[in-house]
Chain A
Amino acid sequence: MARRSSTFSESWHRVVDQKIALRANVKARKRYFRGELWYVLEDPFNNQFFRLRPGAYDFIQRLRRDRTVGEVWEECLNRDPDGVPGQEEVIQLLSQLHFASLLYYEQPSDSANLFDRYKRRKQRELKSKLLSIMFFRLPLFDPDRLLKRCMPVTRLLVNRWAALLWMGVVGLALKLVIDRFDAVTSQAQGVLAPDNLFFLYLGLVLVKTLHEFGHAVVCRHYGGEVHTMGIMFLIFTPIPYMDATSSWSFRNRWHRALVGAAGMIVEVFAAGLATFVWAYTGPGVIHSLAYNMMFIASVSTVLFNANPLLRFDGYYILSDLLDIPNLHTRSQQYLRHLVEHYVFAYQDSTSPVETRREAGWLAVFGILSGIYRVVVFAGIILFIADQFLLAGLVMAVVCIISWGVVPLVKFIQYLATSPRLARTRLRATAISVGTLTGVILFLAVIPFPSRFRAPGVVEAVEHIQVVNYTAGYVDAVLTPSGTVVEPDSQLLRMRDQELDLEIRAAEAQKAETRALEILAMHRSQADLEPVRKRMAAIEDKLTNLRHHQQALMVRSSQRGTWVSPHCNEMVGTWIPRGTKLGEVVCPEQFRFSAVVSQDDASSLFDGQLQRAEVRLYGQGGQDLQVESYKIIPFQHDRLPSAALGWKGGGEVPISAADQTGLAAAEPFFLIYAELTSDPEVTLLHGRSGKIRFSMEPEPLLSQWTRSLRQLLQKRYQI
Chain B
Amino acid sequence: MSTLAQNYWATRIAVPDKLHQGLDRISHALFGLARRRNSILRQMHLEAEQIAEKSLSFKHVSDHRLRERLDELQQLYRGREKGREDILPEAFAIITEAAYRTIGLRPFPVQILGGMAMYKGYLAEMATGEGKTLTACLPAILAGWSRRPCHIITVNDYLAGRDAREMSPLYNYCGVKTGVVTSMMDPAERRHNYAQDVVYTTSKEILADFLRDRLKVGLCHQPSRRLLRQLLQSDRARHDGLVMRGLDTALVDEADSVLIDEAVTPLIISQAQQNHPLLLACARAEMVARDFVAGDDYRAVLKYREVQLTESGRRKLDLISSSLPGIWRSPGRCEELVVQALTARAFYKRDKQYVIQDGKIVIVDEFTGRLMPNRTWRQGMHQAVEAHEQLALSDPSETLARLSFQRFFRFFRHLSGMTGTALEAAGEFWQIYKLPVLTIPTNRPCQRLHAADRIFVDEEAKWLEIVAEIERCHATGRPVLVGTRSVKMSEKLAALLTAKGLTFSLLNAVKHQEEANIVAMAGAPGALTIATNMAGRGTDIKLGRGVAEQGGLHVIATERHESGRIDRQLFGRCARQGDPGSSQAFVSLNDELIRRFATPQVRGVLSGAVASEAPGARKVAEKSIAMAQRNAEQLAFKQRSSVLKMDTWLADALSFTGSNVDF
Contact = CB atoms under 8 A, between A and B. Distances in A.
B304 interface: yes
A13 interface: yes
Contacts of A95: 653-654
A82 B663 contact: no
Nearest to B378: A10
Most A CB within 10 A of own CB, among B225, B657, B658 = B657
A381 to B, nearest CB: 29
A14 B660 CA distance: 11
A81 B15 contact: no
B136 to A, nearest CB: 33
Given A4-B335, A8-B379, A110-B660, A15 B330 contact: no
B656 A3 contact: no
A88 B401 CA distance: 17
Contact of A82 (B332, B642, B655, B662): B332
B187 interface: no
Contact of A13 (B327, B333, B398): B398
A77 interface: yes
B523 to A, nearest CB: 46
A134 interface: no
Given A8-B380, A81-B327, A13 B400 contact: yes
A110 B329 CA distance: 40
A476 B335 CA distance: 109
B146 interface: no
B336 A18 contact: no
Interface in A1-40: 3-4, 6-8, 10-15, 18, 20
Nearest to A114: B655
A14 B663 contact: yes
Interface string A100-122: 00010111111011100100000
By Cβ-Cβ distance, the 7 closest A-B pairs, closest first, are A107-B658, A82-B330, A95-B653, A81-B327, A113-B655, A8-B379, A13-B399
Interface of A: 3-4, 6-8, 10-15, 18, 20, 77-78, 81-82, 84, 91, 94-95, 98-99, 103, 105-110, 112-114, 117, 419, 423
A115 to B, nearest CB: 11
A15 B655 contact: no
B604 interface: no
B460 interface: no
Contacts of A112: 15, 660
B333 A81 contact: yes
Contact of A110 (B327, B333, B650, B655): B655
A113 B659 CA distance: 10
B602 interface: no
B402 interface: yes
A110 B659 contact: yes
Contacts of B331: 82
B399 A12 contact: yes
B219 interface: yes
Given A14-B654, A95-B654, A107-B219, A82 B333 contact: yes
B241 interface: no
A112 B380 CA distance: 37
B296 interface: no
Contacts of A94: 654, 656
Contacts of A14: 650, 654, 657, 659, 662-663
B5 to A, nearest CB: 22
Contacts of B608: none
A81 B662 contact: no
Nearest to A103: B656
Given A13-B402, A14-B654, 18 more contacts: A3-B332, A7-B333, A7-B336, A8-B379, A11-B650, A13-B400, A14-B657, A15-B657, A20-B656, A81-B329, A81-B333, A91-B654, A94-B656, A98-B655, A107-B219, A108-B225, A110-B655, A110-B658
Given A7-B333, A10-B399, A82-B333, A105 B653 contact: no
B608 to A, nearest CB: 25
B571 interface: no
Most B CB within 10 A of own CB, among A12, A18, A107 = A107
Given A13-B401, A13-B402, A113 B660 contact: yes
Contacts of B399: 10, 12-13
17 contacts: A6-B336, A11-B654, A20-B656, A78-B327, A81-B326, A82-B331, A91-B653, A99-B653, A103-B656, A105-B658, A107-B657, A109-B656, A110-B658, A113-B652, A113-B655, A419-B642, A423-B304
A6 B339 CA distance: 11
Interface string B297-335: 000000010000000000000000000001111111101
Contacts of A18: 656-657
A419 B646 CA distance: 12
B330 to A, nearest CB: 3
A95 B653 CA distance: 5
Contacts of B657: 14-15, 18, 105, 107
Contacts of B650: 11, 14
A72 B658 CA distance: 19
A7 B653 CA distance: 19
Contacts of B335: 4
A107 B656 contact: yes
A69 to B, nearest CB: 10
A11 B266 CA distance: 12
B332 A4 contact: yes
A552 B329 CA distance: 117
A8 B657 CA distance: 19
Nearest to A97: B656
A374 B219 CA distance: 53
Interface in B519-542: none
Contacts of A419: 642
A151 to B, nearest CB: 39
A78 to B, nearest CB: 8
Contacts of A6: 336
B663 A13 contact: yes
Most A CB within 10 A of own CB, among B225, B331, B335, B652 = B652
Contacts of A99: 653
Contact of A108 (B304, B401, B658): B658
A81 B328 contact: yes
Interface string B219-238: 10000010000000000000
A1 B447 CA distance: 62
Nearest to B304: A423
